[in-house]
Amino acid sequence: MKRTFVLIILIAVAQLGLSQEPAPRVVEITAKRFEFNPKQVTLKRGERVTIRLVSTDRAHGFLVKPLGLDLDADDGKPSEKTITPDTAGSFPAICDHYCGSGHANMKMTVIVE
């Protein structure tokens, strides 16, 4: 009886371990008029990563079409998406929520290596 109980516990623990993927790395990007911080982030091909956009002033966007990223954040309302990039390269990221006359310069680079 005791041996059966231990076996059940061991199987349950093993299944739990198998079903849990490691938590993705979180990359936080801060947006404010008219800049992102940091200016560049590096991701690894095949690595699950969560991109989190945080705004410290008003509504901003974060668009990297080739990576399927189209985030919107407002002051106090961050947003995030988890991706697994599969193509190496250097991808420009832009704010695509118009935020004022310096908006066109609000950009950064996402590198996948």
Nearer to another protein, 10 or 98 (CB): 98
Least CB distance from residue 35 to another protein, whole Å? Answer: 16
Q: How far apart are CA 24 and CA 52, in angstroms?
A: 12
**59 sits near another protein (criterion: CB under 8 A):** yes
Nearer to another protein, 29 or 62 (CB): 62
Among 42, 65, 77, 90, binds another protein (CB under 8 A): 65
Least CB distance from residue 27 to another protein, whole Å? Answer: 20
Nearest to 31 by CA among 62, 66, 70: 62
Instruction: Region of 46 please: left (phi>0), alpha (psi -120 to 50) or beta.
Output: left
Stretch that binds another protein, among 11-19, 21-29, 48-56, 94-102 (CB under 8 A): 94-102
Q: How many residues bind another protein (CB under 8 A)?
A: 14
**62 sits near another protein (criterion: CB under 8 A):** no
Q: Identify each DSSP E strand in the chain by its residue range.
A: 25-32, 35-37, 40-43, 49-55, 60-64, 69-73, 79-83, 89-94, 107-112
